[in-house]
Amino acid sequence: MTVLTTQVAIIGGGPSGLLLSQLLNNAGVETVILERSTREHVLSRIRAGILEWGTVELLREAGVGARMDSEGIPHDGCYMTDDELMVHIDFKELTGKRVMVYGQTEVTRDLYQAQDAAGTTVLHGVSDVEIHDLDQTKSYVEFTREGARKRLECLYVAGCDGFHGVSRKTIPAEKRREFERVYPFGWLGILSETPPVNDELIYSNSRHGFALASMRNANLVRYYVQVPLSDTVEDWSDQRFWDAFSLRIPSEAAAHLVTGPSIEKSIAPLRSFVSEPLRWGNLFLVGDSAHIVPPTGAKGLNLAASDVYYLYSALIDAVKGAGTTGIDAYSTRALARIWKAMRFSWQMTTMMHRFDGEDAFAEQMRKATLAHLATSEAARRDLAENYIGLPF
């Protein structure tokens, strides 16, 4: 069997795995990344679009901020709306901070390029990954690639393999505590080469259901509508999407809507999920492998980045013999921030979506929450503080 050796084995070549690897490599710590899919597949997934400023600064620190700084669009605010009521949340005025519109696909592309330049081994097309000896001084990962079984020996393993990965499941079920809330709807998202309907994002609660107007650049929009879980992409022609979307955003905004063909269309289910702890012996869970948030509030990718922030310097210390205080504290420190982002994403989801079978009281609670937001600067500041990202 071919045997490879590294200091930190990273399972998953999505944003968590790549960013962790980049930061470790910059400090002279060796990594090998094992990724199930092809690079083209990873880069074809259209996902998050909003970076908190802490994420922006971490990407800069990792040395991958140049294209983000030239092509990303800083946003100083967004709108939360209820039918025709448009509440402006001015992040800059309320918190002194802003967010960056820069797609996950671009972040991932920049990270792959930096990892290529660093000469990091990224093995694509791996399957049947198994993690062993997590309670020993040295651990190893076995996997199949190009028809052959291989072994990667390491000091630590970072489980960056997303919700459906193997890392979390390597922790014995009786040692894991899982918390979950599944929402009874999904988001249908489209990409279209049209100018944005508004300069800032619009999160829209309406009698017809939720809609979100986001963007990637001056001629590429990312729009979403809430759909029943039973719907498929085939149920949604472009025309049906545009009709639903324009009904759900305030008419003042809809008046500026430019429609066009969609170039991507997909449906994502909404879920809140946390698995504790994040550490099992030499294994550390990072990003979606340990937690999922519903996308309302744009926290998924940003939480992956804050996990990486807590873990990378801790791993550098551990690998270089400077102590294990950091890795010992990782799970507790990361979970404290994760739970706050869970609460915010759940609250935003509850405030902005129609739930099937809900009663008139629930609808009034949503409307009152948005009316309160319109009249209370304290409420807007609370939302802004969470949206731009709680401190690491």
**Footprint of ligand DHB (CB under 6 A):** 48-50, 201, 212, 214, 222, 295-298
The 291-310 site mask, x for binding ligand FAD (CB under 6 A), equals ----x--xxxx--x------
Name the catalytic one among 15, 196, 294, 295: 295
Cβ closest to ligand DHB, residue 51 vs residue 94: 51
The backbone torsions φ and ψ at residue 79, rounded to the nearest 5 degrees and listed phi first, read -115, 140
Nearest residue to ligand DHB on Cβ basis: 49
How many helices (H) and strands (E) in the chain?
Answer: 13, 21
Cβ closest to ligand DHB, residue 199 vs residue 328: 199
Q: Are 334 and 45 in contact (CB under 8 A)?
A: no
295: annotated active-site residue: yes
| C-alpha 263: how far from chain center | 22
From ligand FAD, ligand DHB, none, which one binds at residue 161 (CB under 5 to 8 Å depending on kind)?
ligand FAD
DSSP state of 175: G
Cβ closest to ligand FAD, residue 300 vs residue 389: 300
Picking from 121, 115, 114, 112, the residue whose alpha carbon sits closest to that of residue 141 is 121
Establish if 389 lies at the interface with ligand FAD (CB under 6 A): no
Distance CA(204)–CA(41), nearest Å, equals 31
**Token couple for 228:** 């029943």
Helix (H, G, I), strand (E, B) or coil at 194: coil
Establish if 166 lies at the interface with ligand FAD (CB under 6 A): yes
340: annotated active-site residue: no
Cβ closest to ligand FAD, residue 265 vs residue 367: 265
Q: Are 384 and 90 in contact (CB under 8 A)?
A: yes
Q: Are 90 and 146 in contact (CB under 8 A)?
A: no
Cβ closest to ligand DHB, residue 50 vs residue 155: 50
Edge-first strand listing for the sheet containing 99-101:
50-51, 99-101, 73-75
**Token couple for 275:** 């698995």
What's the closest the beta carbon of residue 314 comes to ligand DHB, in angstroms? 29
What's the closest the beta carbon of residue 156 comes to ligand FAD, in angstroms? 16
Task: Show contacts with ligand FAD in window 169-188 (CB under 6 A).
Answer: none
**Token couple for 359:** 């009663």
Please identify which residue in the block is written with the tokens 């459906």: 164
Select the residue interacting with ligand FAD from 10, 21, 23, 35 (CB under 6 A).
35
Cβ closest to ligand FAD, residue 203 vs residue 374: 203
Name the catalytic one among 102, 203, 312, 330: 203
Cβ closest to ligand FAD, residue 170 vs residue 371: 170
223: annotated active-site residue: no
Please identify which residue in the block is written with the tokens 């009904």: 247
From ligand DHB, ligand FAD, none, which one binds at residue 250 (CB under 5 to 8 Å depending on kind)?
none
Task: Show contacts with ligand FAD in window 7-26 (CB under 6 A).
Answer: 11-17
Name the catalytic one among 156, 196, 299, 353: 299
Cis peptide preceding 195, ω within 30 of 0? no
The 105-144 site mask, x for binding ligand FAD (CB under 6 A), equals ---------------------x--x---------------
What's the closest the beta carbon of residue 148 comes to ligand DHB, in angstroms? 39
Query: What is the H or E stretch that residue 316 is in?
Result: helix 300-319
Q: How many residues bind ligand FAD (CB under 6 A)?
A: 32
75: annotated active-site residue: yes
Q: Tell me the β-bridge partners of 187.
A: 226, 268
Establish if 37 lies at the interface with ligand FAD (CB under 6 A): yes
Q: Are 155 and 7 in contact (CB under 8 A)?
A: yes
Picking from 293, 299, 296, 269, the residue whose alpha carbon sits closest to that of residue 185 is 269
| C-alpha 152: how far from chain center | 28
Task: Show contacts with ligand FAD in window 346-385 (CB under 6 A).
Answer: none
The 227-266 site mask, x for binding ligand FAD (CB under 6 A), equals ----------------------------------------
Helix (H, G, I), strand (E, B) or coil at 325: helix
The backbone torsions φ and ψ at residue 103, rounded to the nearest 5 degrees and listed phi first, read -70, 150
Q: Residues interacting with ligand FAD, by CB under 6 A? A: 11-17, 34-37, 42, 47-48, 104, 126, 129, 160-162, 164-166, 268, 287-288, 295, 298-301, 304
- Give catalytic residue positions: 75, 203, 295, 299, 387
